[in-house]
Amino acid sequence: MIIDLRAAMIPLLPPLVEFMDPKSLCHYSGTSKTLRKDVRDTKAWELLAKAQLPRKTRDAASEALSQVKSHVRRRLLADAMAQETPQPQTFRPNQIEDFTFFVRFEENGRLIWEGDLRYDPTMDGFIDGCIRFDLSPIWDAIRRAKSWIGMERVLTLPTDWDIEPLVEAATLDYLRRCKITIVAIRDQDDAMVSLGHFIFDDAKDFIAAVHADKAYDFRSRTPLFSSARFNLRMMASLEAVHNAEGHGGVDVLVLRLAHYSPEYVRNRLESEGEIGTCDESQFAYVLSYLAGIHHLARESALETIENWHVEAMAFSQYN
């Protein structure tokens, strides 16, 4: 009787790899071409490397303390729920400075740069309802790494103004391939708020015109906050500056929270329906609400946000 040795082979199961040592896995992979393929397909060397890492020792004291804190919080919550009249919860919103902003730049799905940015109130913060981040050191790093050549070309002013229409069309086409993603993280508890995935919307002034400063506007694909009567949407702008030779660089990232409503469209016959821009306190209020608040304070917070729209519509009647 002839026995098919290939059928008798025992396949390499990933859970078994951690019980092997490098020497035995090396012998195993060298036994035959089939077994060598199994080692490669199951990523056995990677699994073995992870299994060889030293295991973290348990800190019994910290684990016990964590359990005690958790039990105390449960008891406090149960005591509060047992009261006949629950204590009112006051919503104290955070400040913009209490958040870190994670920003990512992409081109055609390719990562250009990502990292954390902090709000700098010295950069004329919120004089016009906008929050600004200094990008000049980041642009210097991007330029040295040559990771955003397309944007460098866009920010280089043409010398032949006869081709200005062609330059403008090419610039618009390129900017539509660029995306910005922004996440706000509250420092005290690492709660995250997805501010949006931004796509190109418009360019301020003329793209190929001779100006020292330019700005390229991006809008979030989805609202940050939605209500039956209005929605709040994040807008982002990349502001650029140019030197005497016409070479430009991304200098500032500007964020603002825009207030839109179909009611404003009907009343003013405007296609966009943008009523205005939220101020600093409103921006911080929405961020804090979305990052998470006590459930007993949610109703009052929502009423506050809804009242902004009522006040804005009343103000628009006289302007």
CA pseudo-torsion sign 282, 283, 284, 288: positive
108 in Cβ contact with 177 (< 8 Å): yes
Sign for the CA dihedral angle at 11, 17, 20, 25 comes to positive
Tell me the Ramachandran region of residue 262: left when phi exceeds 0, alpha when psi lies from -120 to 50, beta otherwise: alpha
Taking residues 262-270, report their average pLDDT.
Answer: 72
Write down the pTM of the prediction.
Answer: 0.69
Distance CA 162, CA 296 (A): 64
181 contacts: CB under 8 Å, gap ≥ 6 = 103, 104, 106, 196, 197, 198
What are the DSSP E strand ranges found in 266-306? Answer: 274-277
- The pLDDT, as a whole number, for residue 77 is 72
pLDDT (0 to 100) of residue 192: 93
pLDDT band at 312 (very low <50, low <70, confident <90, very high): confident
- In this prediction, residue 182 has a pLDDT band, given cuts at 50, 70 and 90, of very high
For residue 8, the model assigns a pLDDT of 44
Helix (H, G, I), strand (E, B) or coil at 292: coil
Reported confidence tier of residue 225, pLDDT bands at 50, 70, 90: very high
What's the average model confidence in pLDDT over 122-141?
Answer: 80
Q: What is the pLDDT of residues 75-106, one digit of tens each?
A: 877 877 777 666 667 788 999 999 999 999 99
The residues, any chain, with a CB within 8 Å of residue 140's CB and separated by 6 or more, are 249
* DSSP reduced 3-state for 114: strand
Place of tokens 């990502």: 114
The region of weakest confidence among 81-85, 97-101, 107-111, 255-259 is 81-85
SS3 content of the chain, % helix, strand, coil (to 5): 40, 25, 30
170 backbone φψ class: left, alpha, beta (φ>0; ψ -120 to 50): alpha
d(CA 32, CA 28): 8
* 150 CB-near residues (< 8 Å, 6+ apart): 107, 174, 177, 178
Rounded Cα gap, residues 98 and 13, in angstroms: 48
Q: What does the block give as tokens for 263?
A: 């009611």
Residues 204, 213: Cα–Cα separation, whole Å? 10
Distance CA 302, CA 167 (A): 47
- CA distances from residue 31 to 13, 41, 146, 255 in whole angstroms, order as listed: 16, 16, 47, 61
Q: Which of 50-64, 205-219, 261-275 has the highest mean pLDDT?
A: 261-275
Rg (C-alpha) for the chain, rounded Å, is 28
Q: What is the pLDDT of residue 164?
A: 61
